[in-house]
């Protein structure tokens, strides 16, 4: 199980030590103690103290010499080759040591330099000293800028007399260097991706050429002289502009491998393939191929026809065909000869019938997944050597007994079909892997585990299993089952005893079943268990006998009812523990945690309280997930009303997690949110960089008010990756929930952008609505066509230049222009029917369909548990890669409306009040909506200070008139642009007599949104004055006490301060007033507080200032009043009970004054 080490990690140090060294042949230099290393083909001399960081002298020994010094005992002279030869004398302590160094160095000196790799060095010429070595046979100059003429240029390569292999791909030559035709010794030449449009006639001089690669050019034809190369056996012409098979191939009698992938071939002719054995015709425009066009061809043994446009394929005339690839076509019917056939790969077509005659007696592998087969062909049942059969993702309703009872079959994949039962097993079978997931099975064959003793892998997830067959008939079980996946069935506690019959079990998944208990005695017998997944059941506890599972490294038990922390921290190999979304209250931990523990997930346990001592012990864990303290801000309460999210990321069977997510439920200055998912495939650096920077970039782009803000966000993020984005890349999806003021039919709009394979799905009316576009070669034909036209090399594993299957990514700039960072952008209005927003990476959507993902979590109220469920399902369905899922629960419904026409329900410190939620201190009022926080005294008033949306406009002063009342709208029902403005921030003036210490506080940090000028402070607040005229507010009875205002107060006044959020400021800033002095204005509440270094606001001891002009309207709509309407979270003024009578009196007096003024005012604002 050891991982193969890379070449760079191999130990190339042959000998090393600290000795006395003297440089040069003469005795001018003194002897000095140095570190000496014989590494590879060089002698390295460096300082003893700074052997790695200091200056190193490297002496190449190949072609040089090693001699013993006669004048000094145990001393060797190492001399390099060439005219500028250098010599180092090394003195050893013993004869044995001297002889060992002499022997080893002599071997190095006698080596001949035959292979030189100078790829990716930005060279324009070959280094001069290389020409002194006449032993070079292999020269790699790929990815350089080699010149065709001049010193050290391609014209000089003929000086290498022994050169046999030359790689000049990716050098932007433009023309074929004619001088290469003079290197008669060449047997292999690669000149791919150089923009060549023709070959010179001199190419016929390379008579010894055996392999010739010309991929990624613009060739349309080949010269006749190429027919002189009678030794040419492999010819690569992929990704050129050939419209037909080159006729010259018929003259190349030794040619047995022809690659023509990515050209423009439309027909398949046999005249030029009479002697060719291997043909690669991927990614062409082939429509059909019949037996007539290939009649008499007896040489072709391998054919690759992937990614074409074929609907029918008849290759029955190819009697020698051994292996055929025809995936991702549009085949309805396939006909082949079975004489020599060994492997058939026909996945992802529309096949309803596959005809092979005669019965393929040599066939070992048959893959027909993702087709429309309703039955398995009879010839497949009679294939005596068939070892692998994959017919998953078809329409099979039954499985022939001859298939399951086959004496040769070792791997059977029949998942995602419509099987209701399996045939009984009567004899022993050699089956090792059986995949039955996503069928309609209610039971498995009774003798399955008894007859299939070699069975090591069984996946029966997503069925309707209620029981399991017994694993043994006698006392001892012979089962060798190691991996068992039974997720998403109807299994109960009765199935647990059966599992004991599989003592070799290493991985057991029983998630999403109906388990209530796991008997302790049964668990103790599964001693080889390494991974256990029990999530999504109704377990109360994990048995203490789990301590017997000494090899256990992963325990996943989220979404249960576990209240007692299991005894797993004593296990020596435990690495990953997920106990999230349970009912844990406390944790008993040992004095020392196991050293292997890497991740502990305890989030979603609402009653769990961790002491500081426990947290200190857990601080040594790489990843510890616990719930953050709930925020008491009104913003968070408002956000949680509209949306909430949960994130789950699992590394799978890989050592590192290369998936990161971004979740900001409160974004920018309004009721907005940003969610993102980033998948780096095999690198973790880029996803983390994007996680940290992309929200800031989005904010900057949004503030520019550019309609292309989402595309610009991706392009700027791509540019900011810098050096990290040169060779690394990442898929990304970003979802931005924001207001669309111009759209009066919707409260919010959702803008989604993505590159790569990360996707976002919206659940609307219970059905999935894909919002993303998958940018991969297999799933996006337009992108595949673009990359093909730009002459990228798409390798046989369907990757661009063998690097990635994605066609658009952030990063990977060295693959430009093939890989682009430009995203697909989609924007839709959110409606009341939108329940969920699902984000996931490639691994998630490869194993879960959109419909199954939505149905799995639609009725799950906890978004964290929902995200966990999605990841668990993906892993149980066969995902071994990193998997990430994010679930955003949307609540864009009329219930959250705070419009006056729908009833007034305002958020307090703990969230939105409703008929089921009682405020801490109810107060009586018909005109003033008030609510008390349990943390404040009766005389304290909760309010907020925040910044406004536009700082460049000057605040407009208010006159004494009262603002005529307009209908107040909420975020769900924005005011149409043509109506009266909604945001009404005004500049309220305070007279500051003194600070809390009696002095002017010039050195205090300014509060955001507060402008100080001498002794006066101007606070920009967003005030809504709702003067009620016969309007009755709907309110829950629980919010108000029995006392009520008199009839003279029917027209009430609701004062609301709207706080403008910034991205980094979510703290509720509270002002406290001990004694309110009600003077000229109604809204006379102190809004003062001292800002501490941590950003919080503390109340001052004395009453300082009053808002005097809260209800007065501006004379003209300019400045802030001309700002566009913008819906934001709301808070209310809370009036203490001891001031209510005084407030009522002031209200009455103010309204009377306002009525008189209203009649006199010529420029009064009309009612909406």
SS (H, E, C) 227-293: HHCCCCCEEECCCCCCCCCCHHHHCCCCCCEEECCCCCCCCCCCHHHCCCCEEECCCCCCCEECCCC
> Which residues are registered as beta bridge partners of 1068?
none
* Better-scored residue on pLDDT, 801 or 980: 801
Assess whether the previous peptide bond of 526 is cis (omega < 30° from 0): no
Does residue 702 have a pLDDT over 80?
yes
pLDDT (mean) for 275-287: 92
Q: What's the mean pLDDT in 536-550?
A: 92
- pLDDT at site 84: 75
Q: In what order do the strands lie in the sheet with 759-764?
A: 643-650, 883-890, 834-840, 759-764, 767-770
State how far the Cα of 229 lies from the Cα of 253, in Å rounded to an integer: 9
The pLDDT confidence band at residue 419, using thresholds 50, 70 and 90, is very high
What is the per-residue pLDDT for 213? 97
Residue-wise pLDDT tens digits, 615-644:
888 888 888 888 877 665 555 666 667 899
Q: How confident is the model at residue 256 (pLDDT cuts 50, 70, 90)?
A: very high
Residue 477 or 1166, more confident: 477
pLDDT per residue over 1038-1077, tens digit each?
333 333 334 334 433 333 333 333 333 333 333 333 333 3
Q: How confident is the model at residue 913 (pLDDT cuts 50, 70, 90)?
A: very low
Q: Do 870 and 850 meet the contact criterion of CB atoms below 8 Å apart?
A: no
Residue 126 has pLDDT above 50, yes or no: yes
pLDDT for 767: 94
Strands 234-236, 257-259: pairing kind: parallel
pLDDT, one tens digit per residue, over 839-852 is: 999 999 999 999 99
Q: Which residue has the tokens 């209620």?
A: 466
Q: What is the pLDDT of residue 654?
A: 77
Tokens in use for 320? Answer: 């020698």
Average confidence (pLDDT) over 978-992:
36
Q: Specify the higher pLDDT residue, 940 or 972.
A: 972
Summarize the confidence of residues 818-829 as an average pLDDT: 95
Q: Which pLDDT value is given to residue 219?
A: 96
Lowest mean pLDDT among 265-274, 343-352, 554-563: 265-274
The residue that leads in pLDDT, 317 or 924, is 317
CA distance linking residue 593 with residue 610, whole number of Å:
16
Please choose, from the candidates 359, 356, 353, the residue with its C-alpha nearest in 3D space to the C-alpha of residue 395.
353
For the segment 853-865, what is each residue's pLDDT rounded down to a tens digit? 999 999 888 999 9
Q: How many Cα atoms within 13 Å fall on the side-chain side of residue 959?
A: 14
Per-residue model confidence (pLDDT) at position 53: 56
Is-contact 542 566, C-beta < 8 A? yes
Torsion-angle region of residue 46: left (phi > 0), alpha (psi -120 to 50) or beta? beta
Give 974 or 1090, the one with higher predicted confidence.
Answer: 974
Residue 1158: predicted pLDDT: 56
Mean pLDDT of 1026-1036: 39
521-531 residue pLDDT tens: 888 889 999 99
Q: Quickly tell me which residue has 């797993």 as its tokens.
A: 568
Phi–psi pair at 999, nearest 5 degrees:
-120, 160
- Phi, psi (degrees; rounded to nearest 5) at 247: -65, -25
Query: Average model confidence (pLDDT) for the chain?
Result: 78
Query: CA dist 206 to 135, 186, 224, 557, Å?
Result: 20, 7, 14, 67
Residue 934: pLDDT over 50: no
**Greater confidence, 1133 or 689?**
689
Report the range of poorest mean pLDDT among 62-76, 172-186, 976-990: 976-990
At residue 474 the predicted structure's pLDDT band, cuts being 50, 70 and 90, is low
H/E run at residue 640: helix 634-642
Domains within the chain, CATH numbers bracketed: 10-109 (2.30.29.30), 657-834 (3.60.40.10), 939-1027+1051-1161 (no CATH)
Please determine, for residue 980, whether its predicted confidence score (pLDDT) is greater than 50: no
Return the closest-CA partner of residue 969 out of 1144, 754, 1136, 744.
744
Q: Which residues contact 239 (CB under 8 A, 6 or more apart)?
A: 215, 216, 217, 261, 262, 263, 788, 791, 792, 793, 794
pLDDT (0 to 100) of residue 1145: 79
Hey, which residues does 507 pair with through a beta bridge?
Answer: 483, 531
Distance CA 463, CA 859 (A): 20
pTM score? 0.72
Q: Is the pLDDT of residue 392 over 60?
A: yes
User: H helices of 809-849, where?
Assistant: 842-847
Omega of the bond leading into 24 within 30 degrees of 0 (cis): no
For residue 921, what is the DSSP state? B
Tell me the average pLDDT across 109-114.
Answer: 80
Q: DSSP character for 1137?
A: G
Question: Residue 1036 burial by CB count (10 A; 0-12/13-18/19+): exposed, middle or buried?
Answer: middle
Q: Is the pLDDT of residue 447 over 70?
A: yes
Between 763 and 109, the more confident residue is 763
In this predicted structure, the answer to whether residue 1020 has a pLDDT above a threshold of 60 is no
CA distance 556 to 1091: 45
| Residue keyed to tokens 């059909």 | 288
Q: Percentage of the chain with pLDDT > 90?
A: 51
- Who contacts 612 (Cβ-Cβ below 8 Å, separation ≥6)? none
**Where residue 674 falls among pLDDT bands split at 50, 70, 90?**
very high
């Amino acid at each position: 199980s050891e991982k193969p080490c890379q070449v760079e990690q191999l130990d190339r140090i042959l000998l090393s030590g600290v000795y006395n060294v003297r440089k040069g042949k003469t005795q001018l230099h003194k002897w000095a103690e140095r570190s000496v290393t014989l590494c590879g083909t060089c002698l390295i001399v460096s300082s003893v103290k700074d052997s790695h960081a200091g200056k190193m002298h490297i002496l190449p020994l190949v072609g040089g010499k090693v001699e013993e010094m006669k004048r000094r005992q145990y001393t060797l002279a190492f001399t390099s080759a060439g005219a500028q030869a250098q010599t180092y004398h090394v003195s050893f302590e013993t004869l044995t040591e001297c002889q060992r160094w002499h022997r080893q160095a002599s071997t190095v000196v006698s080596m001949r330099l035959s292979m030189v790799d100078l790829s990716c060095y930005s060279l324009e010429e070959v280094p001069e000293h290389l020409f002194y070595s006449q032993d070079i046979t292999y020269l790699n100059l790929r990815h350089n800028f080699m010149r065709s003429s001049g010193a050290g240029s391609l014209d000089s390569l003929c000086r290498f007399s022994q050169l046999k292999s030359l790689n000049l791909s990716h050098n932007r030559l433009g023309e074929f260097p004619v001088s290469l035709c003079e290197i008669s010794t060449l047997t292999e030449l690669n000149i791919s991706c150089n923009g060549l449009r023709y070959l010179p006639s001199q190419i016929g001089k390379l008579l010894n050429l055996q392999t010739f690669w010309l991929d990624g050019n613009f060739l349309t034809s080949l010269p006749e002289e190429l027919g002189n190369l009678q030794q040419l056996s492999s010819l690569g012409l992929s990704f050129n502009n050939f419209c037909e098979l080159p006729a010259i191939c018929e003259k190349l009698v030794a040619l047995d491998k022809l690659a023509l992938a990515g050209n423009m071939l439309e027909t398949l002719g046999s005249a030029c393939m009479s002697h060719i054995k291997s043909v690669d015709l991927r990614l062409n425009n082939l429509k059909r191929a019949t037996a007539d066009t290939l009649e008499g061809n007896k040489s072709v043994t391998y054919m690759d026809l992937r990614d074409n446009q074929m609907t029918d394929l008849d290759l029955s005339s190819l009697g020698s065909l051994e292996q055929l690839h025809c995936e991702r076509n549009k085949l309805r019917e396939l006909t082949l000869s079975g004489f020599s056939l060994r492997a058939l790969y026909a996945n992802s077509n529309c096949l309803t019938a596959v005809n092979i005659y005669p019965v393929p007696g040599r066939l070992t592998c048959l893959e027909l997944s993702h087709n429309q087969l309703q039955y398995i062909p009879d010839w497949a049942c009679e294939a005596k050597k068939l070892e692998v059969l994959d017919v998953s993702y078809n329409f099979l309703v039954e499985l022939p007994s001859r298939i399951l009872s086959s004496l040769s079959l070792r791997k059977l994949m029949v998942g995602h079909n419509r099987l209701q039962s399996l045939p009984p097993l009567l004899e022993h079978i050699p089956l090792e892997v059986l995949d039955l997931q996503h069928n309609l099975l209610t039971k498995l064959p009774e003798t399955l585990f008894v007859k299939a003793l070699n069975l090591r892998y069984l996946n029966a997830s997503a069925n309707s299993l209620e029981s399991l067959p017994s694993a043994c008939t006698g006392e001892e079980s012979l089962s060798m089952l190691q991996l068992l996946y039974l997720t998403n069935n109807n299994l109960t506690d009765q199935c647990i005893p059966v599992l004991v019959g599989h003592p070799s079990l290493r991985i057991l998944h029983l998630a999403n079943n109906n388990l209530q208990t796991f008997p302790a005695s049964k668990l103790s017998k599964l001693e080889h268990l390494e991974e256990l997944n029990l999530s999504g059941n109704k377990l109360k506890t994990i048995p203490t006998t789990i301590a017997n599972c000494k090899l256990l490294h992963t325990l996943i038990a989220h979404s249960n009812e576990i209240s007692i922390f299991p005894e797993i921290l004593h296990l020596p190999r435990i690495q990953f523990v997920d106990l999230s979304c349970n009912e844990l209250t406390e944790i008993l931990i040992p004095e020392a945690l196991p050293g292997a523990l890497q991740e502990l997930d305890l989030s979603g346990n609402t009653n769990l309280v961790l002491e500081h001592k426990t947290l200190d012990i857990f601080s040594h864990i790489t990843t510890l997930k616990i719930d953050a303290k709930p925020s008491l801000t009104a913003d968070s309460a408002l956000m949680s009303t509209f949306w909430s999210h949960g994130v789950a990321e699992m590394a799978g069977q890989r050592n590192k997690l290369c998936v990161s997510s971004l979740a900001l439920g409160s974004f920018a200055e309004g009721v907005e949110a940003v969610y993102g998912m980033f998948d780096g495939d095999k690198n973790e650096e880029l996803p983390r960089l994007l996680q940290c920077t992309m929200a800031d970039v989005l904010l900057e782009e949004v503030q520019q008010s550019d309609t292309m803000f989402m595309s610009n966000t991706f392009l700027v993020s791509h540019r900011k990756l810098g050096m990290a984005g040169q060779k690394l890349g990442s898929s990304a999806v970003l979802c931005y929930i924001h207001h669309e003021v111009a759209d009066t039919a919707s409260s919010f709009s959702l803008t989604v952008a993505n590159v790569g394979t990360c996707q976002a799905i919206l659940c609307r009316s219970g059905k999935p609505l894909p919002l993303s576009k998958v940018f991969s070669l297999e799933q996006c034909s337009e992108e595949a066509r673009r990359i093909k036209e730009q002459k990228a090399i798409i390798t046989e594993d369907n990757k661009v230049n063998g690097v990635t299957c994605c066609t658009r990514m952030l990063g990977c700039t060295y693959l430009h222009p093939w890989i682009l960072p430009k995203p697909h952008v989609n924007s839709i209005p959110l409606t009341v029917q939108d329940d969920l927003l699902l984000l996931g990476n490639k691994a998630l959507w490869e194993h879960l369909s959109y419909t199954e993902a939505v149905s799995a979590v639609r009725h799950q109220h906890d978004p964290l548990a929902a995200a966990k469920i999605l990841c668990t399902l993906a892993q149980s369905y066969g995902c071994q890669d990193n998997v990430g899922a994010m679930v955003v629960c949307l609540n864009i419904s009329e219930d959250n409306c705070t419009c006056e026409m729908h009833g007034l329900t305002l958020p307090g410190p703990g969230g939105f009040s409703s008929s089921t939620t009682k405020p801490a201190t109810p107060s009586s009022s018909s005109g003033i909506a008030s609510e008390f926080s349990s943390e404040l005294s009766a005389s304290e008033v909760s309010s907020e200070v925040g910044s406004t949306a536009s700082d460049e406009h000057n605040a407009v002063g208010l006159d004494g008139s009262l603002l005529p009342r307009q209908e107040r709208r909420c975020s769900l029902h924005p005011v149409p642009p043509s109506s009266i403005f909604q945001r009404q921030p005004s500049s309220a003036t305070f007279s500051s007599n003194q600070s809390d210490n009696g002095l002017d506080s010039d050195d205090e940090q300014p509060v955001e949104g507060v402008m100080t000028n001498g002794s006066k402070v101007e606070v920009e607040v967003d005030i809504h004055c709702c003067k009620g005229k016969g309007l009755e507010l709907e309110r829950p009875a629980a919010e108000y006490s029995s006392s009520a205002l008199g009839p003279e107060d029917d027209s009430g006044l609701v004062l609301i301060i709207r706080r403008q959020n910034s991205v980094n400021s979510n703290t509720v800033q509270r002002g406290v007033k001990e004694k309110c002095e009600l003077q000229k204005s109604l809204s006379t509440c102190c809004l003062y507080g001292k800002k501490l270094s941590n950003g919080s606001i503390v109340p001052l001891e004395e009453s300082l200032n009053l808002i005097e002009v809260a209800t007065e309207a501006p004379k003209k709509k300019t400045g802030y009043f001309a700002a566009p309407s913008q819906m934001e979270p709301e808070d209310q003024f809370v009036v203490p009970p001891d001031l209510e009578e005084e407030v009522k009196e002031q209200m009455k007096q103010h309204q009377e004054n306002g009525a008189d003024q209203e009649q006199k005012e010529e420029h009064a604002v009309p009612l909406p």
